[in-house]
Amino acid sequence: MSPGGNGYFSSPVYDSLRHWLGNIPPDCAADPDQLNALCKSPPLSGGGVPIRFVRPVAPGLHRYADQYEVRTSVRGEIPVRSESWHDTFNALAWLSFPRTKAAINHRHFSELERDRTQRGIREDEAFSPGGKRSASRDALTLFDESGILVASTDDQLLELIRRHRWKELFWGRRADVEQRMRFFVLGHAVHEKSMRAYKGITARALLLPVTEAFPDLSPARQLEYVDDAAARHVAQPASFASPQDLSPLPIMGIPGWDDNEADSYYDDVSVFR
């Protein structure tokens, strides 16, 4: 799928960014100035600083203070490369999921800060993280890049995701999925991949039980609700212990997200295994 037209990005993959996508040109990724113009009330970083989108620093080994998560947390600066949809989608995720993105940033920064302190490195010194990165940071990065928030009023539907029972979920209980579940793509890598969509795109799901009233909320209120719920989950120290804590979810199987109106669609074991 290519950007363009009055609808910009028509796939439901982009529903969580829809409000912001309508304010940038459809034929080219946004630059920092365009993105900053969208921020009438900028979200706060994980360190509580209002964010702003900036151009990247020169490549190479940077000071500790120039590390991405440090720069974001302490100075509120989020680098955006020119002509990069990947970075544009990351920026728009900050606007759509401000609490969740801030919570992820805070977790990353806290671990980097512990590492720096233990190694006795000053903030203005050259820095690269020591040793192997933790499983929790790997999980947080996977969620940040490929995450999807799945809200459901029916715990049995969430259990089918955990058990990878894709045909039973998306075909056998299709009406329940449409009525009782809502899906919100957080991960900017998923947004980027979906510009040229293919059947095997897989996100990593955070499963959120919600009340019966949730599907009747406005889309904006639903997004606010799941952002708050996801942020509270990320903030728990025991959460995201490893990438295996996140359920894989082949998003093209979601009703209406692809041409998946036949049961044979779900017999493709290269995707729905």
* Model pLDDT, residue 8: 55
Among all chains, which residue has been given the structure tokens 């995450």?
147
Q: What average pLDDT is seen over the chain? A: 91
β-sheet with 147-152: strand ranges across: 181-185, 147-152, 202-209, 247-250
Mean pLDDT value across residues 1-13? 61
What is the pLDDT averaged over residues 24-45? 89
Residue 133 scores a pLDDT above 90: no
Instruction: Kindly tell me if the per-residue pLDDT of 147 is higher than 70.
Output: yes
Per-residue pLDDT, 236: 95
What would the two tokens of residue 252 be?
A: 């093209």
Handedness of CA 96, 101, 103, 106 (dihedral sign): negative
User: What's the pLDDT score for residue 59?
Assistant: 63
The pLDDT tens digits of the residues spanning 202-219 come to: 999 999 999 999 999 999
Give the model's confidence band at 6: pLDDT under 50 very low, under 70 low, under 90 confident, else very high: very low
pLDDT (0 to 100) of residue 64: 85
Q: Output the pLDDT for position 4.
A: 41
- 217-242 pLDDT per residue, tens: 999 999 999 999 999 999 999 999 99
Beta bridge partners of 52: 77
CA nearest neighbour of 153 among 105, 221, 204, 209: 209
State the DSSP string of 223-259.
HHHHHHHHHHHHHSTTS--SGGGSEEEEGGGSTTSSS
**Which residues on neighbouring strands pair with residue 147, listed in sequence order?**
204
User: Residue 195: pLDDT above 70?
Assistant: yes
What percent of the chain clears pLDDT 70, i.e. is strictly above it? 95
State the pLDDT at residue 126: 76
Question: What is the model's pTM?
Answer: 0.93
- Tokens for 130? 């020591």
Tell me what the mean pLDDT of segment 29-51 comes to.
93
pLDDT tens profile 70-127:
999 999 999 999 889 999 999 999 999 999 999 999 999 999 998 888 888 888 777 7
Report how far residue 110's alpha carbon sits from residue 225's, in angstroms, rounded to the nearest whole number.
25
| pLDDT value of position 80 | 94
Segment among 34-48, 88-102, 125-139 with least mean pLDDT: 125-139
pLDDT recorded at residue 7: 47
Residue 191: predicted pLDDT:
97
pLDDT at 150 over 80: yes
